[in-house]
Structure 1
């Protein structure tokens, strides 16, 4: 009598591979996430730069104008407000936000003017016009401009709706994780 029960139990296991399949998919998914994280890969889901897979490459020299970087924003009142407004995505930087992908347009000692457009040391930055209101109709307060302090960078993205230094000002270069390199991206 026990032989047919054993056979029936084996048949039931073969007919329902879902738990094993889910377990295997979970292991593969977690392995991919671990490999991506420790391999310094990130997925960009914001329109500030092309969407898709990016890699953080170690910056083994001083940051320079023109560098496209991954940077963790500082925990300031301005960044807390930006997080509350939904400008910053969730991530593993301090404050629970994702790193930003932005271009460095000015470094310490350079003069930045923020008016209708942004200029750095008198050089007009393309695609740098300011908006008065965000997508929800809330007032946007631009940074007043000035000299970039020591140990800081001024960041920009050419995307018109980007939240960058036009609004939050210079931020500490200590937050730079590395250079941003496209791996597999799509620019809509």
Structure 2
């Protein structure tokens, strides 16, 4: 009876392949994290937009309707409460919060009404119904509506639980870091 010499060789090859695959996966993860920290890249971990690696692209014009932007929220009482409630992740913006990724749905001079959903200049915004309570059962304060001020934008995400201008109102355009461009994303 012959001793199966190939069994050891196969096991050794399988381990070698596993080590190579692990090293490759670790390199991809480490590279993504490093890219996220430099060069205008960010990792989105919230369901408001697809999860994954995004790039901030310079915006050389005023923000317009439909732009998907990265924006740092200002330090206001509303944003401080949002941070305390856990709606904003930690990051590099003033106040230690992460930039938001949202779509511009109204610009300066447009009229916003908030009811069961949002209307802009009388036109309903799809997927804009408001939550009465957050995931922990706490009441949600909604923006009362009005005209978007100069040098401000009204932001939205179609994700129902998104924390956006439906609740905090327009944000100053000075907080816009740039356009949000997906690099390697996954939408569950």
> Which of the five TM-score ranges fits, normalised by the shorter chain?
0.7 to 0.9
Who is 1:151 aligned against? 151
Using a 3 Å threshold, how does the CA distance of structure 1 residues 32 and 126 change in structure 2: closer, same or farther?
closer
Who is 2:91 aligned against? 91
Who is 1:120 aligned against? 120
Question: So what's the TM-score if we normalise by structure 1?
Answer: 0.82
Using a 3 Å threshold, how does the CA distance of structure 1 residues 185 and 33 change in structure 2: closer, same or farther?
closer
Question: Equivalences for 1:8-23 in 2 at 5 Å?
Answer: none
Question: Equivalences for 1:25-36 in 2 at 5 Å?
Answer: 29=30, 33-36=33-36
Who is 1:140 aligned against? 140
Who is 2:69 aligned against? 69
- Counting matched residue pairs gives 162
Give the distance between the partners of 1:63 and 1:156, measured in 2 at CA. 14
1:56-80 deviation per Cα after TM superposition (whole angstroms, max 9, x unaligned): 0000111001000000000000000
Query: Once the 2 structures are TM-superposed, how far is the Cα of residue 36 of structure 1 from its aligned partner?
Result: 3.5
Who is 1:177 aligned against? 177
Q: In structure 2, the residue corresponding to 1:81 is in which secondary structure?
A: helix
Query: Once the 2 structures are TM-superposed, how far is the Cα of residue 38 of structure 1 from its aligned partner?
Result: 2.8
Using a 3 Å threshold, how does the CA distance of structure 1 residues 35 and 161 change in structure 2: closer, same or farther?
closer
- Runs of 4+ that moved beyond 6 A: none
Query: Once the 2 structures are TM-superposed, how far is the Cα of residue 109 of structure 1 from its aligned partner?
Result: 0.5
Structural RMSD (CA): 1.7
1:133-173 deviation per Cα after TM superposition (whole angstroms, max 9, x unaligned): 00000000110100000111000000000000000000101
Q: In structure 1, the residue corresponding to 2:75 is in which secondary structure?
A: coil
Question: So what's the TM-score if we normalise by structure 2?
Answer: 0.82
Give the distance between the partners of 1:34 and 1:49, measured in 2 at CA. 21
Query: Once the 2 structures are TM-superposed, how far is the Cα of residue 125 of structure 1 from its aligned partner?
Result: 0.7
Q: Any conservation in 1 of the 2:36–2:43 contact (CA below 8 Å)?
A: no
Unaligned stretches of 5+ residues in structure 2: 1-25
Who is 1:111 aligned against? 111
